[in-house]
Amino acid sequence: MKQAGIDGNTKLLAIIGDPITQVRSPEIYNPRIVKAGVNAVLQPMQIPTATFDDAIKGIMAIGNLLGVVVTYPHKERVLRYADQIGRIGQAVGAINAMRREPDGSWTGDMFDGAGLLGALASLGQTATGRRVLILGAGGAGSAITMALAAAGAAMIGVFDLDANRAAELAARVQTHFPVCCARTTEPDVTGFDLLINATPVGMAPAFALAPFRGALHAGLTVIDIVPKPETTSLLALAREKGCPTANGAAVVSGQADAVLAFFGIGSSEAPAQAKLPSLETRS
């Protein structure tokens, strides 16, 4: 990978988490930053939960800091340090990126769902008017569901083995995005045109088939957010049936483009939240 040059004018993006050794974001983001011709670098920082508040205040005081990318377990905890929060962050109740504005205030939003919109864009598709079946109402499923609702999905059926969690997510969608019809459902693909696996089913070593019922067909787009393997059992079956498909790598790529666009790096046309409704200021 081409390395970013570091000098006295270099701007810093911090990615914070605990642990942090597992993150691959620098390998994905820094080549994009170099390609964009921006003198900046994404730097991992391990912030233990016990010292989070002191650490985040210190990081936010750094003069050449562009902003912060947030990973586990700090996405909810960092919310209170943002002065303005985008609609997806408000709806999810967590953020994974926060930037410093020219007036010194901080704006945060959640981009875990933006990657899904980017994966759709890689297929030449959008969320507008879609009938979506999403498997999994956890953190990733919640962010994806909110992003799809904000981007114009007509209907979202939510399935989770924990029926209460699925019901809670559907209710939150209706509260924040009432134009979108959200409801709990059985994992039957009949009547849907977009199937999303937001569960870990399909990851090594099991390579199990994500839980769904009904017949896959060429009019159904299938996206599996599992990062590895690149082709899960679900995607292999979907391709056999002629479905347009996208894998976890496409989701990660879409999220990287959206997050960097949020920081003013790369294309302003990056698919995701650039065209979503305006920010809400915290009270």
pLDDT tens for each residue of the chain, 283 residues long:
455 578 899 999 999 999 998 888 999 999 999 999 999 999 999 999 999 999 999 999 999 999 999 999 999 999 999 999 999 999 999 999 999 999 999 999 999 999 999 999 999 999 999 999 999 999 999 999 999 999 999 999 999 999 999 999 999 999 999 999 999 999 999 999 999 999 988 776 656 788 899 999 999 999 999 888 889 999 999 999 999 999 999 999 999 999 999 999 986 544 445 343 345 555 4
50 with 74: CB under 8 angstroms? no
* Ranges for all domains in the chain classified under CATH 3.40.50.10860: 11-110
> What is the end-to-end Cα distance of the chain in Å, rounded?
43
Catalytic residue among 57, 75, 228, 275: 75
State the CATH class of domain 114-250: alpha beta
Task: Please report the pLDDT score of residue 125 as a whole number.
Answer: 98
- A 10 A CB-CB count for 273 gives 25
Task: Please report the pLDDT score of residue 24 as a whole number.
Answer: 87
Contacts with 171 (C-beta within 8 Å, 6 or more apart), sequence order: 182
Residues 123, 125, 131, 133, Cα dihedral to 10°: 30
Task: Please report the pLDDT score of residue 4 as a whole number.
Answer: 57
User: What residues does 109 pair with on adjacent strands?
Assistant: 97
Task: Please report the pLDDT score of residue 257 as a whole number.
Answer: 95
Task: Please report the pLDDT score of residue 117 as a whole number.
Answer: 97
- Integer-rounded Cα Rg, in Å, for the chain is 19
Task: Please report the pLDDT score of residue 278 as a whole number.
Answer: 44
Contacts 24+ apart (CB under 8 A), 175-181: 175/91, 176/87, 176/90, 176/91, 176/146, 176/149, 177/91, 177/146, 177/149, 177/150, 180/148, 180/149, 180/152, 180/153, 180/154, 180/155, 180/156, 181/154, 181/155, 181/156
What is the topology classification, in CATH, of domain 11-110? Answer: Rossmann fold (3.40.50)
Contacts with 54 (C-beta within 8 Å, 6 or more apart), sequence order: none
Query: Cα–Cα distance between 170 and 173 in angstroms, integer?
Result: 5
Contacts 24+ apart (CB under 8 A), 241-244: 241/215, 241/216, 241/217, 242/217, 242/218, 243/216, 243/217, 243/218, 244/123, 244/125
Task: Please report the pLDDT score of residue 156 as a whole number.
Answer: 98
275 included as an active-site residue: no
User: Which secondary-structure segment (H or E) carries 67?
Assistant: strand 65-70
* Ranges for all domains in the chain classified under CATH 3.40.50.720: 114-250
Task: Please report the pLDDT score of residue 146 as a whole number.
Answer: 97
